[in-house]
Amino acid sequence: MSVESMSDDVPPVPTPVPPESPALRRATSGSTPLPLNLFVDEEEGSKGEAVDNAAERIARWWLRASELYQLREKFRGDEGRKSLSAVNEAMGTVGKLEFSQAGAMLSEEGVMGAMKTILRLCARDVILDTFPRTTRSPRAFLSACMIIHHPTWTLNDGEEENESDSDEAYMPKMLLQIASKVTLVATSGLLESVEGGCDLKSFTAAYNYFAFSRRFLASAMTAWRKVDSERLAVSIVNPYSQTFAMLCVAEKGGDKVMEGNAKMQLAKMRAAMKKLVGEAKCKSVLGEVEVAVRQTMEGAFKQEEEEKEKRAKKREENLKALEDRKEERERVKKAEAEEEEKRKDFTQKFFMNMSVTNERLCHEIILDPDYKIPGLSDNMKKVFWDRLVVSLTLPTQVEMKDFEEGSDVQVRYGAQGAFYSGKIVKVNRDEESDGDDEEDVQTKWDNTTFDVVFVGDNAVQKNNLVNFICGQIIQFQAPVRNKKTAVWIKAYMEELKEGGGAAVTKLPKLLEWVFERVDETQKDIANSHIEMLRPKLKENGKDYERERFDKRVEEGIIRLTNTKLFLQGGLEFLAAGGFDSKGGQVLLGCAKRDPVATLMMVAASMVQLLRRPVRLDTPGYETYEGGIPETLLWDCKKLADMRDAMDAVALISTMVTLLRQVLARNGYREEGSGGGVFEEIQKHLNILIKSNGVRLPDLEAFLVAKAKEIVPGLPEAEQESLKHIVRNSVDAENAVFKLMNKRVDRLVFESLVFMKKEVWGRDGEQLKNKITASGFKGFLGDGGLEKGLIGVVRVFKHTLEVHQVHYRRAILETIADHLSE
C-alpha cells in the first residue's frame, strides 16, 4: 500500500494504532530494536527477515501517514486556514504597490504574524535546519514576493541591471528569482489544497511541494548573499583606494590632521568589508589595494621630486650663464632694484593712510578697465532745484493783510508769471487821493521810468554776473567741453534779453548749470588721475589688497568662516560627481595641492554661490552665517547681476524651446534662417523681462502672438496649451527649465576655468564662441549674459590672484572636515 492510494476513508481517530505484532512493537518502540534472529530458527532466517522488513516499512508508512494527517488537521483549522489566506492575499497585493509601500505592508504585524503561524504549524525539517536562520525566517519567506515584483530594488539597490555582470553574480540571481517564484506557487497551492476539499492525497502533494520550496529558497538565498557580499565588498575598494591615496599624501606632507582623518575613514571601511567577506579575504584584498596605491603614489612622488630637481638644475644653469655675463647680470640686477625701489616708493606714497573707501576704489579700477567715478542722478538734481524755486517764490497777495506796509510782494512787470520781488512802502487808505496816485503811475509808465530803473539796471547786472561765472567755468573745464558750454551761454543770454518767465526761475537754472559744470570738471580731473594711475594700480594694487586683507586676518578682524562654507558648497558638488563625473579626481588633486584642481574647486564653489536662493547684494548678507565669502565682499553687485543674467537666459531659453515644440507639432519646420527667427524672439523676450511692469501674462501674450505669426491659423487649443506650458516654465521643477539651468551653470564653470587671458581683449571672441556653442547665441551683445560673464571672470581671476593662499588652506581644511564626517 502506498501514500497515493490513501483516501478520506481513513478513520478520523486522534492517533491511529497499527496492528499488534512483535516485529511492529520492536520497530516502533522507543528503545533500540532487538535483532530478529533471536526470535526465529536458522532455517526460518530468510523468511523471517523478509517479514520483519515488511513490518518496518508498514510502520514507517503509518507514522508518516499519521504525521501528514495531523498536519492536515492543523492547516484545516481556523488558525492555519486564516494564516494561509492572509499571506496569500498579501503576496497578491505586493505587485500592485510601490517598493516602499509593499515593504511596509509585509512588515505589518498581521502579515508577519500569519507567516510565523504557518511556519510554526509545519513539521520540523532537518535538512532545512542546516541553512542560516536568516534564510528560513518568516521575513526571508515573505521577501520572495518582493524579489518577484520588485527585483531591481530588492537585488540591485535601485540600480538598473548591468549587462556586464559576471556569471558568478548572474546565476545566483536567476536561481533566487526562480526559487521565489516556486515559493509563491507552492504557498498558493497549499491554500487551494486546504480550501478545496482537503483530501489527504492532494494535501500531501501540496505540502511536499511547499517544503521543497522552503529548502530551494533557503539554498538560493544563501548563494545570493554570498555573491552580494562580495559585490558590496568590491564597491568599497574604490573609495578605499582614494582615501588611502590621501593618507599617502598626508604622510608625505606631514599633515597630521588629514592623516588622522584618513586613518579613521580607512578603519571604518575595513570593518565594513570584514563584516561582508570575512577577515581573511578582507585582509588579502585590501592589502593588495594598499600595495598598488602606495606604489602609484611613490611613483608620483618620485616624478615630482625629479621635476623639482630638473627645475633646480635649470635654475643653476641659468645662474651659471648669467655669471658668464657678469656685467650684463649686474646691469639687470641694478635695473630690477631700481624698478623695485620705484614700485615700493610709489606704493608707500600712494597707499599711505588710505581708507577702506580708497581700497574699494582701487579694487574697482583693477577689475573694470572702463571704470569712471559716477555722478549724482538727474532725478536727485531735479528734486533739489525744484525745491529751491519753490522756496524762493513769494506767495501771491490774496487778503487785505497781505498789503500792509513793509510786506514783500510779487510785482508784475509783463506777462503772466513775470515778476520781481518788491516791498510795500505806502498804502493809500484815502479814496480821495486815488486820482493823484493814478496820475503819478501813468506818468512814470509813459516815461518808461519804471522799465529803466527797475528792469534795465537789473538786466545789466545779471549779464555781467553770468559772463563772469561762465568765463571762470571755461577756464577750468576741459577744452573739449568749451564748445558745448559756449552754446549754452548764448542761449541763456538770449533768454535773459527776451525777459520771458518769472525772474526767480532764471537764477536756479543758472546755478544748476554752474554746479553741473563744477561737478563735471571735478569728475574729469579725478578720472584723468585714475587713467594716469591705472597702470600702477594694476601692477601694485593686488599686492596692496592682499597685504591689507592678510593683516586683517592676522589681527582677527576678518575670519574666513563664510569662505570655508563657500568652498564647502563646491566640495559637495564635486563629491557628487560635478559636471563630468570627475569630481573625485579634482578633490584628490586639491589634496595634492595641484593648482589646476584648486582653480576648478574655486570655480565650482563660485557656480554654487551664484545659485544660492538669496540675492547676493542683499544688505547685510555678509553678516549671515554662510553669507558672502569674506574674499568677495566687494563683488556682491557683480555677482548679483550675473545671477540675474543666468536666470533670464534659462527662463527665456525654456520658453523658446517650448514654443519650438508647439510649432513643430503644428507642421512648422525650421529651414534656412529658421534659427534666426527664434534668436529674434529671444532678444525680444530679454527686453520684456528687463522692462518694469511686465508680468507673466504679458510674456504669454507675446509668445502666442509670435506663434500665430509663424503658423497662421494656429488652433485655439494649441494657443491655450502654449499659455499653459509657458506658465509652468517658471516652475523650478520644470524639466526643461532644470536642463537650461544646468547648461548655464556649465557655461559659467567652463568660462571661469578656461578663460586665462584678459576677457576684454582677444579672449572676447573666445567667450562669444563658447556662448554660441552652449546654444545661447541669441543672447550675444544684449548687455546681460556676455557682460555678466566678463564681470564674473574678472572677479574670479582677481580673487584667485589675491587670496590664493587662503583658498588653498581653506580647501585642505574643508576636505579634512568632509572626510571626518
Question: CA nearest 156: which of 173, 175, 141, 178?
Answer: 173
Q: Which long-range contacts (CB under 8 A, 24 or more apart) does 683-692 make?
A: 683/778, 683/782, 685/652, 685/655, 685/656, 686/648, 686/652, 686/779, 686/782, 686/784, 689/648, 689/651, 689/652, 690/648, 690/784
3-state class (DSSP) for residue 427: coil
In this predicted structure, the answer to whether residue 574 has a pLDDT above a threshold of 80 is yes
Percent of the chain with pLDDT over 70: 66
Can you give the pLDDT at residue 553? Answer: 83
* pLDDT at 530 > cutoff 70: no
d(CA 330, CA 324): 11
CA dihedral 629, 630, 631, 633 (to 10 degrees): 90
Tell me if 663 sits within 8 A of 649, measured CB to CB: no
Provide the residue count of the chain: 821
Average pLDDT for residues 236-250, to the nearest whole number? 77
Q: Which residues contact 677 (CB under 8 A, 6 or more apart)?
A: 670, 710
Contact 323, 332 (CB under 8 A): no
Helix (H) or strand (E) holding 89: helix 78-94
354 Cβ contact partners less than 8 Å away, ≥ 6 residues apart: 362
Least confident stretch, 167-181, 524-538, 785-799? 524-538
Tell me which of 267-281, 296-310, 407-421, 785-799 is least confident.
407-421
The mean pLDDT of 327-335, rounded to a whole number, is 72
* Sole residue written with cell 508647439: 662
**What's the pLDDT at 20?**
43
pLDDT band at 370 (very low <50, low <70, confident <90, very high): low
Contact 518, 503 (CB under 8 A): no
More confident residue, 203 or 523: 203
pLDDT beyond 60 at 461: no
Q: What is the DSSP letter of 410?
A: E
**CA contacts within 13 A on the Cβ side of 785:** 31
Contact predicate 797/700, CB 8 Å = no
Taking the C-alpha atoms of residue 71 and residue 88, their distance in angstroms, rounded to an integer, is: 19
The angle at the Cα of 369, spanning 367 to 373, to the nearest 5 degrees, equals 90
* DSSP strand pairing (408-412 vs 419-423): antiparallel
What pLDDT score does 17 carry?
A: 41
CB 729 within 8 A of CB 736: yes
Cite the DSSP H helix spans in 665-695.
674-690
Q: Is 452 exposed, middle or buried (0-12, 13-18, 19+ CB in 10 A)?
A: exposed
Residue with cell 535601485: 158
| Cβ–Cβ under 8 Å, residues 595 and 565 | no
Residue 120 grid coordinates: 510554526
pTM of the model: 0.44
What pLDDT score does 37 carry? 46
Contact of 79 with 118, CB cutoff 8 Å: no
User: What's the confidence (pLDDT) of residue 247?
Assistant: 81
Rounded average pLDDT over 516-536: 69
> Strand, helix or coil at 66?
helix
pLDDT digits (tens, 9 = 90+) for 647-658: 888 888 888 888
Over residues 22-32, mean pLDDT: 41
| Dist CA 586 CA 596 (whole Å) | 9
The band of 425, judged by pLDDT with boundaries at 50, 70 and 90, is: low
29, pLDDT greater than 50: no
Q: Where are the alpha helices (DSSP H) in 691-775?
A: 696-710, 716-728, 735-754, 763-773
Give the distance from CA 463 to its chain's centroid.
67
Task: Say how far apart CA 49 and CA 70 lie, in whole Å.
Answer: 32
